[in-house]
Chain A
Amino acid sequence: MLGYVLRRLFTAIPTLFFIVTGAFFLIRVAPGGPFNLERPLEAKVMENLNKIYHLDKPLWEQYLYYLGNLMRGDFGPSFVYRDFSVSELFASGLPVSVQIGASALVLALVFGTLLGVAAALRQNQPADYGVVGLATLGITIPTFVIAPLLSLVFGVWLGWLPAGGWGDGAFANKVLPVVTLALPQIAVVTRLTRGAMIEAMRSHHIRTARAYGLKPWTVVVVHALRSAILPVVSYSGPAAAALLTGSVVVETIFGIPGIGRYFVQAALNRDYTLVMGTVIVIAIFIIIFNLVVDLLYALIDPRVRLG
């Protein structure tokens, strides 16, 4: 088990290397640069800036320079947020995004599984149709519609919760963003659980469990749900990586200082080092959560062998 984990982490190094290389050259291919502003800078200023940030060197030299710094754990300075290094930006933003994302993930897994099981056990009955209908709605309505709606209703009209802002991480400020992020995920998890659960309840070993007069709880939770949860586990890996690295929409609408905004802003501003930083952070999250999913899989299903 430990050997497997170490091996997987070891093989992640070349993966990361390819991602870094690919992203580095791709963003440089995009036209423009970090200092191309609407009002062009003076030639002399531009020259100096390029010199400071090593943009006057050939591309391969810049690449080696970046890799060298990366090896020492230095993501470099941000080109646009002057006076901040990329590491500093992440140090303040990442905990915020992880908090919001993790809460949303837990919410989605708990409610999604419950609703999915409830619907599956009442297949083709009104309750099932209701849940499926809501889930479809949850998937189809985009967050940029839900977020302002929630903010309007609970923040402005009812005044129960702050309409936006971070408030130094006060609980009330987190509720709406977490719910906004969780809703579509609840919908997806519900649908996944429902489908897998219906299939599981029809399987032969469930028939055996029922034929042997086991309690409904044992039949449904101990036997059916354990196998029905597997597709949810596979889904939650990439979902967790996406949620924990922040959402542009939610962070922008509720004004939350996470890292989700950086990805889009940095790409638009050609903030080369910040783009690279976000790419690396997201890649690491995806690699880690895929590993976690594989470990969970082996834990749930004894037939899965790691190796």
Chain B
Amino acid sequence: MTAMTDAVAAETVLDIQDLRVTFQTNDGPVAAVRGVDISVSKGETVAIVGESGSGKSQTMMAAMGLLSDNGRAEGRVLYRGEDILGLPLKRLNKVRGARITMIFQEPMTSLDPLYTIERQLCEPMIEHGGLGRKAAAARALDLLKLVGIPAPEDKIKAYPYELSGGQRQRVMIAMALANDPDVLIADEPTTALDVTTQAQILDLLADLQKRIGIAVVFITHDLGIVRRIADRVVVMKDGEVVETGQTAKIFDRPAHPYTRMLLDAEPEGEKPPVGEDKPIVIDGQKVGVSFAIPRGFMKPPALFHAVEDVSLVVREGQTLGIVGESGSGKSTLGRALLQLLPHSGRVHFDGKDISNAGKQVMRPLRRQMQLVFQDPFGSLSPRMTVGQVVTEGLLVHEPGLSAGERDRRACQVLEEVSLDPAMRNRYPHEFSGGQRQRIAIARTMVLKPRLVVLDEPTSALDRTVQKQIVELLRGLQAEHRLTYVFISHDLAVVRALADTVVVMKTGKVVEAGPTAAIFEAPRDPYTRDLIAAAALEPMHGRVVDA
């Protein structure tokens, strides 16, 4: 997008002045937004960046009157000179959905699952545009064509669950454009999407903006996106604006240390190679996993091949990166390697054939083969203290251990993942996402495993926290000669951690090889798409000391 001209800058459409948001909680009032000023001019793209908890979403939610019941907003939110904060609902609803529209982070749940796309697209048009049902339906179809939904004539009659995440986000964009608004507020609209889908959605937004000329407020934590689309950047931290300026200026000459830290958070470095003489830890030959899909009464089930004929070898101390989009079968493959799913083909662990081995065989091996999950919120029991969570595995694998000894081990391992051992008596909900992921890692490390399968361990975390987790994983690997299978859709993280990379698409391997070769000279067009979509910074060519 081009930088805006001064003539355009004169016309301010949205002007947020000294906005403050307070939430009434059980622990007293919490100030989430503390005196924020943001102005948006006609046709301009303003990015609000900051980490989770910086108040960037709440600022816009407050402006739109969408705070939860315990939230209160003060200050002024001027839309073309009219203060819309605290407007009576009837008057406010003349602006919301008509002049200012929103798209949200959660494309999977932002549409009502019980109504068709057509019905939901038409509602705001009938409400604000005064269109009849027929006219609205015709316009809805045009909008779906505009946002590039395949087979729009069929999709318009579909329910949200019949659409993919990217398609649903396109529907949301269509809905946002329906009444020709002045301002579009996009709250992390691509965060929940695959990289290639993400790139498509961003291109679509940029293209539409050029054609229609609406102002866009883009809330995101991803600086790669900001650089690509924003005219101006507002950096927020702890409910305050710490820096604001033209995109180029923010990226080239950041003034505030926090901005510099955000910019510096891209995972860097690459992994020092491991010698070919090291023993092979896990060796999969033609591994396949298929699921039976019931087709109804008395019919034979259909077979869905989630993973087909994947072969891989990982040596001690190596990291294998498995990349691919959601649905590519990468997590399923990880689970099959750990014998958590029945599979075809052969899997050897430390030279021993463990293909579809029974519980008896696997139990002693389990402690050497561990798994870390993506969701640091869902994967820790909320009713156990961190100390209990971390040492639970010891109850199974070293039942003879005394309570005191287990406690000592808990302290030790928490220190190893840079958490204060004094916190071991707290419960998981008292920790941040990054800390919880450290706890999940500690839980596996306490068993001193040889192989750890990490299933998107950094995907739910802020970039700066991601970087710390990457450093932690690196340190643990070097110290304990760990072998990692690292499953991720985040190419930047994979590039920083992996020795070899396997690129998967619809259950098959499309390309495999050493990390540098894959990233610098990808052969398969799909790999090239993935890398282009991720918009990685060029390699620094720096090797981290092991």
Contacts and interface: CB of A to CB of B under 8 A. Distances in A.
B93 A207 contact: no
A214 interface: yes
Contacts of B102: 208, 211-212
B110 A213 contact: no
B128 interface: yes
Interface in A112-158: 123-124
Interface string B162-173: 000000000010
B127 A215 contact: yes
Given A218-B123, A307-B296, A307-B297, A211 B101 contact: yes
A307 B301 CA distance: 13
Given A204-B104, A303-B161, A307-B296, A213 B112 contact: no
B98 interface: yes
Contacts of B96: 210-213
Interface in B62-113: 64-66, 68-69, 89, 92-98, 101-102, 104, 106, 109-113
Given A123-B69, A212-B101, A204 B106 contact: yes
A209 interface: yes
The B contact surface, by secondary structure, is loop
A302 B114 contact: yes
A7 B296 CA distance: 12
Interface size class of A (residues with CB under 8 A): 20 to 34
A2 to B, nearest CB: 14
Contacts of B113: 205, 227, 301-303
B124 A212 contact: yes
A213 B93 contact: yes
Contacts of B114: 223, 226-227, 300-302
Nearest to A301: B114
A31 interface: no
Interface string A237-259: 00000000000000000000000
Given A226-B114, A301-B113, A303-B113, A215 B104 contact: no
Interface centre among B64, B65, B113, B114 (most CB of A within 10 A): B114
A24 B521 CA distance: 78
B141 interface: no
B229 to A, nearest CB: 22
Given A207-B104, A300-B114, A301-B114, A213 B127 contact: yes
Contacts of B93: 213-215
Contacts of B106: 204
B159 A213 contact: no
B110 A205 contact: yes
A69 to B, nearest CB: 33
B389 interface: no
Contacts of A92: none
B89 A216 contact: yes
B297 A208 contact: no
B175 interface: yes
Interface string A290-307: 000000000011110001
Given A211-B96, A214-B97, A205 B175 contact: no
A208 to B, nearest CB: 5
Interface in A194-214: 202-205, 207-214
Given A7-B297, A218-B123, A205 B97 contact: no
B64 A303 contact: no
B97 A211 contact: yes
B26 to A, nearest CB: 12
A208 B104 contact: yes
Interface centre among B98, B111, B112 (most CB of A within 10 A): B112
Contacts of A302: 113-114, 159, 161
Given A7-B297, A214-B123, A208 B111 contact: yes
A204 B97 CA distance: 15
B111 A212 contact: no
Contact of A205 (B65, B98, B101, B109): B109
B163 to A, nearest CB: 12
A203 B109 contact: yes
A209 B172 CA distance: 11
Interface string B335-360: 00000000000000000000000000
Contacts of B109: 203-205
Contacts of A203: 109
B112 A211 contact: no
Nearest to B116: A302
A307 to B, nearest CB: 5
A223 B127 CA distance: 15
A274 to B, nearest CB: 38
Interface in A215-232: 215-216, 218, 223, 226-227
Contact of B97 (A202, A212, A307): A212
Contact of A208 (B69, B110, B128, B161): B110
A213 B112 CA distance: 15
Nearest to A216: B89
B95 A212 contact: no
Given A7-B297, A212-B102, A227-B114, 18 more contacts: A124-B69, A205-B111, A205-B112, A207-B104, A208-B172, A211-B66, A212-B97, A212-B175, A213-B92, A213-B94, A213-B96, A213-B124, A214-B97, A214-B124, A226-B114, A302-B114, A302-B161, A307-B296
12 contacts: A124-B69, A205-B109, A207-B104, A208-B110, A208-B172, A211-B64, A211-B66, A213-B94, A213-B127, A218-B127, A223-B112, A307-B297
Interface of A: 7, 123-124, 202-205, 207-216, 218, 223, 226-227, 300-303, 307
